[in-house]
Amino acid sequence: MGEIKLIAFDLDDTIFNTKKELTPETRRVLYRAAELGIEIVPSTGRFWGAVPDEIKNLPFIRYAVTLNGAAVYDVKNSRTLARFEIPVERADLIASVFDDLHVIYDAIIDGQGYMNRALHERVKEVAVGEWQYKIIHDLRKPVDDIHELMKSLDRGIQKMQIYTQDKELRKNLLAALPVVFPNNLFTSSIHNNIEINDLKANKGDGLRFVASHLGLDMSMTMAFGDGTNDTSMIKAAGIGVAMGNAVQELKDIADHVTDSCDNDGVAEGIKTFCVGIDDK
């Protein structure tokens, strides 16, 4: 294990607690790590515009892995460094499958979410609480026909998502979709969603890109996560850390399991593996 020079982390239920807060202790430890020259890299399923201000306003954030690795973003220069997108023809086929199901789905294009107008009006049916309703509803632009929108593009779709409260349907889709669309990656960050990316778009490769861009060996990286969309990142990092509240699948492949997001698990993990964090 090399000296840690880069720390990547998921947002919801990882760096944020279940109240969607960045606690004072976790904030303090992030600032201390940055003071010691460690790169702090958010790695999220969200596009950069949907990242909460508590993270955006951290002055030391230079890079972010967004949309599960579909876009590696240079925060300081407001530009995308790497893109791994779903080709339009394939995204259109995937959307056609969703049209025949009782689900709500969206598409993220160039860092903006879109959703059919009829589905946009039904977000409350699938949202888990007010926080998720606002994220889905307020950050998606309603359009008359998402198929026509996608066909008008000269580039691919960064990410698609399904939302459903039907647990059996979600389970069946997670099993069937990878068989029908083997060039896509199907993961989940919360119990009512499925996230769809191109197979080349994943948090692990996003982390590798940032490390290479900075000239760092992967042994010098550390990553925290809680959901299946964090699996590739936890495997790729020099030290992959699963939260205490993580899905069992992630805990099984992690190098270390820290405390839960409600008990400053990220801060605990950083203090465990990074030298000098608590030196005053």
The answer, yes or no, to whether residue 84 has pLDDT greater than 60, is yes
- pLDDT attached to residue 2: 63
Domain match, 80 and 205 both: yes
The answer, yes or no, to whether residue 278 has pLDDT greater than 80, is no
**What is d(CA 190, CA 183) in angstroms, rounded to the nearest whole number?**
22
pLDDT band at 69 (very low <50, low <70, confident <90, very high): very high
Q: CB of 270 within 8 A of CB of 25?
A: no
Q: CB of 27 within 8 A of CB of 33?
A: no
Domain match, 107 and 189 both: yes
The answer, yes or no, to whether residue 1 has pLDDT greater than 80, is no
**Residue finishing a domain among 180, 198, 216:** 198
Structure tokens at 196: 């769809």
Question: Does 279 reside within a domain?
Answer: no
Q: Which has the minimum average pLDDT: 73-77, 133-137, 224-228?
A: 133-137
Domain match, 118 and 138 both: yes
> What is the rounded average pLDDT of the residues 31-57?
95
- pLDDT attached to residue 201: 95
Domain match, 98 and 159 both: yes
- pLDDT tens readout for residues 179-207: 999 999 999 888 899 999 999 999 999 99
Structure tokens at 11: 């947002």
**What is d(CA 131, CA 144) in angstroms, rounded to the nearest whole number?**
25
- pLDDT attached to residue 9: 98
The CATH number of residue 190's host domain is 3.30.1240.10
Q: CB of 208 within 8 A of CB of 63?
A: no
- pLDDT attached to residue 124: 93
**Residue finishing a domain among 170, 198, 226:** 198
**Residue finishing a domain among 144, 171, 198:** 198
Q: CB of 199 within 8 A of CB of 185?
A: yes
Domain match, 70 and 148 both: no
Question: Does 102 reside within a domain?
Answer: yes
Domain match, 59 and 92 both: no
- pLDDT attached to residue 256: 98
Domain span at 148: 88-198
Half-sphere exposure of 275 (CA within 13 A, CB side): 6
Question: Does 1 reside within a domain?
Answer: no
Question: Does 278 reside within a domain?
Answer: no
> What is the rounded average pLDDT of the residues 234-244?
98
Question: Does 46 reside within a domain?
Answer: yes
Domain match, 206 and 243 both: yes
> What is the rounded average pLDDT of the residues 246-255?
97
Question: Does 12 reside within a domain?
Answer: yes
Domain match, 77 and 53 both: yes
Structure tokens at 130: 């007010």
Residue indicated by tokens 């020079």:
5
The CATH number of residue 65's host domain is 3.40.50.1000
Residue 39 burial (C-beta neighbours within 10 Å; 0-12, 13-18, 19+):
buried
Percent of the chain surpassing pLDDT 70: 99
**Count of structural domains within the chain:** 2
Domain match, 67 and 117 both: no
pLDDT band at 279 (very low <50, low <70, confident <90, very high): low
> What is the rounded average pLDDT of the residues 55-76?
96
Question: Does 60 reside within a domain?
Answer: yes
- pLDDT tens readout for residues 119-134: 999 999 999 888 889 9
Cα-based torsion angle of the residue sequence 150, 206, 56, 213 in order, rounded to the nearest 10 degrees: -120
Cα-based torsion angle of the residue sequence 128, 129, 130, 132 in order, rounded to the nearest 10 degrees: -20
